[in-house]
Chain A
């Protein structure tokens, strides 16, 4: 048991260490120019030096992602419920949903910026737009995948539609909702960064662009690492919520 716990952390850490080690050997061995690829140690130094800057910009991006993702959950789940509970709604809006979804978000981003400005709101909207789709699709799939026998059981007791939804369909769909949310949360980060790339005054994506334009490659790399940490933190948040809301799935 204890050994298992150690290896649970040991192997992932070793994986990261291995990649950093190979990176270091490559830069030192081939004498790579730091403008092309800085040494990992240099990136770490910059991260420590510029920690305040990274944290402030990171906080801005983090807020854009969290709000965009939260909005995607708040609208995506009820929309999926509506689509699965009514054939008419589904026939009317599902093709529309797919149609709008097939427009690349990067192409829509400039328009969103025109509508919502250079600030926080436009990034939130883009993050929302990319996170929304997987949540709707996975929630709808989950709601449709309720075991028929459980529905039969409820119907045999003359359960109301609301009872069936709250006591059976929704909890049965939770694993699907969470797998959609895990995809959505990483997409939300991409969405926010796309928004910052198109035009922004703050955020890690903005910092990355500025650093790149000043050929400050180590700072660009530092922002990249910060973005990846941000993505992992958000993902871990969803996993933690899953553990709390679905304790029964732990045994698997």
Chain B
């Protein structure tokens, strides 16, 4: 503990090697150390295919690390924690369920589906602007709306950690900006610690308390940026000098700018 901040998650020398058939082993992540403070929004920023998604999967307990320790709330983890919420690259909704039933899916698995859960699902859907679409099937929604529903599904069981894997990468620029603001709103309401994987510099700087910039494969933390711009942040922020300064720093770490 440092002051009033409390460490939520610590990664120590995390390494991931994929052993491939008829090929040399692939080092996806090498010696990653970082600390995530409770309630923080941290972006993992890096080029496509650098191993950020693998790191997120390790945090989610879906892929075991080859080496190093992952400690969450002081405990070593080696499997999935049911109180994490995940948003994937694609909305990944079940076409046979209505939007509401998709959102309630985690509650069903955790055997917590009841009137309260239903009420919470309806509230979340309203929060993301999907009021009136509860009974609709996912294939009748646009990509952006599907991703909103998938966000509700990740939040329904009040996760202590929200893991997001390039969730807005497939959306158009305007929808993506809208979703960024929505995410910040949601975070203000839920206070969930969030790890956000992205390859967009602007998105990372706009959303985060902390940006971890990764090098190309094997992924290593090249730079840590603390974005000390107070929340709430508004879209105009993107055009300020202070914001551009952070973008330049992140760009430099990625080798895009000097």
In the complex, whether A149 has a CB less than 8 A from a CB of chain B is yes
Of the residues A155, A168, A248, A249, contact of B80 by C-beta under 8 Å = A155
> Could you tell me if B86 and A246 are in contact, using CB atoms closer than 8 angstroms?
no
List the B side residues contacting A159 at CB < 8 Å. 109
- 9 more CB-based (< 8 A) A-B contacts, given A156-B84, A248-B137: A149-B88, A149-B92, A156-B62, A157-B106, A158-B79, A172-B94, A174-B96, A248-B96, A249-B95
Of the residues B61, B94, B137, contact of A168 by C-beta under 8 Å = B94
Q: List 10 A–B pairs whose Cβ atoms lie within 8 Å, in order of A's numbering.
A: A147-B92, A152-B57, A152-B60, A155-B62, A156-B62, A158-B79, A248-B96, A248-B139, A251-B139, A252-B139
> Could you tell me if B62 and A152 are in contact, using CB atoms closer than 8 angstroms?
yes
The answer to whether residues A150 and B92 also contact, given A156-B62, A251-B139, A251-B140 and a CB cut-off of 8 A, is: yes
> Could you tell me if A251 and B137 are in contact, using CB atoms closer than 8 angstroms?
yes
Count of chain B residues near A, Cβ 8 A: 25
Count of chain A residues near B, Cβ 8 A: 22
Q: Mark each residue of chain A from 142 to 186: 1 if its CB lies under 8 Å from any CB of chain B, else 0.
A: 000001011011111111000100011001101000000000000
Closest partner residue, chain B, to A245 (CB atom): B96
> Could you tell me if A156 and B60 are in contact, using CB atoms closer than 8 angstroms?
yes
> Could you tell me if A156 and B94 are in contact, using CB atoms closer than 8 angstroms?
no
> Could you tell me if B95 and A248 are in contact, using CB atoms closer than 8 angstroms?
yes
Q: Mark each residue of chain B from 79 to 97: 1 if its CB lies under 8 Å from any CB of chain A, else 0.
A: 1101010101110101110
The answer to whether residues A163 and B88 also contact, given A155-B62, A158-B80 and a CB cut-off of 8 A, is: no
> Could you tell me if B94 and A157 are in contact, using CB atoms closer than 8 angstroms?
no
Interface centre among B57, B84, B86 (most CB of A within 10 A): B86
The answer to whether residues A157 and B60 also contact, given A147-B92, A248-B96 and a CB cut-off of 8 A, is: no
Of the residues B82, B88, B89, B139, contact of A157 by C-beta under 8 Å = B82
In the complex, whether B228 has a CB less than 8 A from a CB of chain A is no
The answer to whether residues A156 and B92 also contact, given A163-B109, A167-B108 and a CB cut-off of 8 A, is: no
Q: Mark each residue of chain B from 49 to 84: 1 if its CB lies under 8 Å from any CB of chain A, else 0.
A: 000000001001110000000000000000110101
In the complex, whether B196 has a CB less than 8 A from a CB of chain A is no
